Amino acid sequence: MHKLAINGGEKVRTSLFPAYKVIGEEEIAAVKHVLESGVLSRFLGTWHEDFYGGPQVRALEAEWAEYFEVKHAIAVNSATSGLYCAMGATGVGPGDEVIVSPYTMTASAAAVLVYNAVPVFADIEEDCFCLEPHSVEQRITPYTRAVIVVDIFGQPYDADRINAIAQKHNLLVIEDAAQAPGARYKGKWAGTLGDIGVFSLNYHKHIHSGEGGIVVTDNNELAERVRLIRNHAEAVVENKGYNNLINMLGFNYRMTEVEAAIAREQLKKLKGLLKQRRENVIYLEEQISRIPCLQMPAVRDSCQHSYYVHALKFKSDMVDINRELFINAVKAELMPVELRESEGVNVGCGYVKPLYLQPLYQQQVLYGDKGCPFNCPHYEGTINYRQGLCPVCEKMHYEELITHELIRPPMSKDDLNDVGKAFAKVWRSYSNEK
C-alpha cells in the first residue's frame, strides 16, 4: 500500500487545482462600456428619479426579477447589506426576537442585532442542515417577529413546514439564499420561498461581481422600504411622502454601475455554471460514495441543490482515527487552488462555529456599555446562548461535517479523480475493516 503523504509518502496531486474564475470576455466588454460612459454610479440620495440608480442597476434588477420570477429585485453592495435592509424593512426593533439558524455566515444573525433586536438560535436538521421546523416552533415566544432561514450549502430550507409555522404565528420569513442561486424547491426558486430573499454576488459565490447582493420580494411595501434603507431613507421620506418612519434610517448600500454590468453578464452564465457544479458533484460522488466512512449530502425531496459547498458526513465508527486527522491526511494528499494558495487545500472540518458561541453572544456586549440589545429595558425575553443550545448543530460542527469546495468550475474530471483518489487512499490506510 502507498505511504500517505502526511507520513512522508508521495502526494496524489502535485499541481495546483485550477483557479476559480467565472469572469470572461463578456464581463470585460460590459465593464469597458460603463467605464467609457464615465458614470460609474447614478444614484442620488434624495427624492429624484436617480434615487433608484442608473441604467445598469435598473436593468440588472429587471433581469433578476424576470429570471427568478419575482416582482421586485433590488441591487445592493453585498448580501450582508441586503440582509440588513430586509430586516429593517420588516420593522423589527428593540424588544423583538428573531429566530435564526446558528449554522450560517455571521451576517444572517448580525442583521437582527443591527436593529437592536435579539437573535434566537434554533437547531438545524441532521440531514439537510437548514433550520429544523420543530426547533423553530419551540423557540417562538410572545416577542418573536420573524424567522431568518438559510439555504445552507445550496440546499433550500423546508419551506412548506417553516412557512406554515410562520403563518400560524404571524411571523415574517427572510430567506438567506446567498448560497443557493438557482436551487429549486417544488418548482420554485430558492430565494423566493419566504417574504423576502437575499442573494450574494461576492467572489466566492456561484456568480459574482466582486462584491454585491440582490434582495427579492413580491411585497410592494417591503420592496420600497428596502430601497429606502439602501439609499439614505431619512433624507428621502419627506419629499417622497413616505410616512412610516420605523427603521427609516438609511445607509449607503448602493451597487455601482460597474458591478451591475458585471452581474448582468454573470446572470446569463448561472445556468451553465450550475450545470457544471452538479455534474462535478455526480462525478465525484461516483468515486467517493462507496467509501464507508463518508456519507454523501442529502437533497431534500422535490428540490434541486446548488452545491455552494459539498457537505459530507464523517462516520467515525468506520475508521481508526478521528475526523480532524482524517481530513489532515486528505489535505496532505492534495494541493490548493491557484490564485488562492494561501488558503491551503479547500477541504475542512465543519463549517463556521455555531454563531451563539462567538464572543459577541457569549459576552453579550454590543451597543455601548449598557448591555443593549441583550439587556435592553424593552426586552422582556430570556437570552440563551449556552453551549449545548443546538445539539445537532454542535454535533455537525465538532464531530461529523466535512465541507469542501472542490466541485466548483472549472474542476475537470481529472481534477476530481485526484480528489477521489485522495479520499480513497486515506480511507484504505485507516479503515478498520481490514
Ligand X SMILES: *Cc1c(COP(=O)(O)O)cnc(C)c1O
Q: Contact between 226 and ligand X (CB under 6 A)?
A: no
Q: Interaction with ligand X in 106-135: which residues (CB under 6 A)?
A: 107-108
146-175 mask for ligand X (x: CB under 6 A)? Answer: ----x-------------------------
Q: What is the bridge-based pairing of β-strands 303-304 and 97-100?
A: unpaired
What CA–CA distance (Å, rounded) separates 60 from 39? 16
CB of 213 to ligand X, least distance (A): 5
Q: Contact between 105 and ligand X (CB under 6 A)?
A: yes
User: Who's near 152: CB < 8 A, 6+ residues apart?
Assistant: 101, 103, 104, 124, 129, 130, 179, 351
The alpha carbon of 125 is separated from its chain's Cα centroid by a whole number of angstroms, namely: 16
What grid cell was written down for 415? 481534477
Q: Contact between 178 and ligand X (CB under 6 A)?
A: yes
Choice between 174 and 233, CB closer to ligand X = 174
Choice between 202 and 316, CB closer to ligand X = 202
183-212 mask for ligand X (x: CB under 6 A)? Answer: -----------------x-x----------
Query: Cell 434566537 maps to which residue?
Result: 120
Question: Which amino acid is located at 352 in the chain?
Answer: V
CB of 205 to ligand X, least distance (A): 6
Name which position in 104, 155, 247, 266 contacts ligand X (CB under 6 A): 104
Q: Contact between 80 and ligand X (CB under 6 A)?
A: yes
Q: Contact between 358 and ligand X (CB under 6 A)?
A: no
Name which position in 78, 135, 231, 306 contacts ligand X (CB under 6 A): 78
Applying CB under 6 A, which part among 21-29, 90-98, 102-110, 282-290 lies near ligand X? Answer: 102-110
Q: Contact between 179 and ligand X (CB under 6 A)?
A: yes
Q: Which helix (H) or strand (E) holds 26?
A: helix 25-37
CB of 105 to ligand X, least distance (A): 4
| Ramachandran assignment for 425, one of left (phi > 0), alpha (psi -120 to 50 degrees), beta (any other) | alpha
Applying CB under 6 A, which part among 72-80, 115-123, 182-190, 320-328 lies near ligand X? Answer: 72-80
Sign of the dihedral defined by the CA atoms of residues 183, 120, 396, 131, in that order:
negative
User: Who's near 250: CB < 8 A, 6+ residues apart?
Assistant: 45, 228, 229, 230, 231, 232, 233, 234, 235, 236
Question: Which amino acid is located at 400 in the chain?
Answer: E
Q: Contact between 215 and ligand X (CB under 6 A)?
A: no
CB of 81 to ligand X, least distance (A): 7
The alpha carbon of 270 is separated from its chain's Cα centroid by a whole number of angstroms, namely: 16
Q: Contact between 79 and ligand X (CB under 6 A)?
A: yes
What CA–CA distance (Å, rounded) separates 73 from 5? 49
CB of 201 to ligand X, least distance (A): 6
Choice between 132 and 418, CB closer to ligand X = 132
Count of alpha carbons within 13 Å of 416, Cβ hemisphere only?
22
Choice between 105 and 248, CB closer to ligand X = 105
Choice between 78 and 163, CB closer to ligand X = 78
Choice between 56 and 306, CB closer to ligand X = 306
CB of 101 to ligand X, least distance (A): 9
What values do phi and psi take at 184, rounded to 5? -130, 145
Applying CB under 6 A, which part among 7-15, 35-43, 99-107, 279-287 lies near ligand X? Answer: 99-107
What grid cell was written down for 102? 446558528
Applying CB under 6 A, which part among 47-55, 103-111, 333-341, 366-374 lies near ligand X? Answer: 103-111
Site size with ligand X, rule: CB under 6 A:
14
Choice between 205 and 225, CB closer to ligand X = 205
Q: Contact between 360 and ligand X (CB under 6 A)?
A: no
Q: Contact between 176 and ligand X (CB under 6 A)?
A: yes
CB of 58 to ligand X, least distance (A): 20
Q: What is the bridge-based pairing of β-strands 196-200 and 213-217?
A: antiparallel
End-to-end CA separation in angstroms for the chain: 13
Buried b (16+ CB within 10 A) or exposed e, 286-299: ebbeebebbbbbbb
User: Who's near 133: CB < 8 A, 6+ residues apart?
Assistant: 158, 161, 162, 165
Return residues touching ligand X (CB under 6 A).
Answer: 78-80, 104-105, 107-108, 150, 176, 178-179, 200, 202, 213
